[in-house]
Amino acid sequence: MSPEHLEDRGIRDPDVLRILRTTPRELFVPEEVREFSYEDRPLAIGYGATISQPFIVAFMTQLLKVERSSRVLEIGTGSGYQAAILSQLAQRVYSIEIVPELAEAARERLHRLGYTNVKVRQGDGYEGWPEEAPFDRILLTAAPEELADTLVEQLAPNGRLIAPVGGAKQQKLLLVEKDRAGKIKTRPVTTVLFIPMRRPGC
């Protein structure tokens, strides 16, 4: 999907447009679906996971409002594509993937491609990354039925969290903001459809 099409759909942040234009999405998908890399649709990457469509990546990244000083937590590394996008905006990205094979492949891929400010670990996204908390921004790329309090607690004051929340057939993209005093404000932004967020053993 070209930056011009993204602009037509409301993506205005010049940094987001530039990064989407220059990050090679084809290097984050399996070889058998590479020809579809720039179509605006999710693509299967194995183990029941997908890489999100370019518009959704751009939309959620723009909504997150990452700053150069931001420490970002991503839940659901997948192929590492979203982490690569975030790494070009943030100071540091911490990404958790529950599937061991995907976590290892993403870690190797990001290292090989030079994204040195991303740390990937295999683990339970519901638990977040407490030893590195708090985070200025948190992004979920899989949908829990309910947003875990643990993740909201790991959000720093003046932080923003974006998550698709709901069942397998109906989800809302929620924006959670925590003010300087720690007060939480949550609002739905749009409807989306993401793969369900897994728990260990599922």
Please give the positions annotated as active site. 52
DSSP conformational letter for 141: S
Which residues 6+ apart lie within 8 Å of 73 measured at CB?
93, 94, 95, 96, 128, 129, 132, 133, 135, 137, 138, 139, 151, 154
Q: Are 154 and 177 in contact (CB under 8 A)?
A: no
Residue 71 one-letter amino acid? R
Interatomic CA distance for residues 189 and 173, integer angstroms? 6
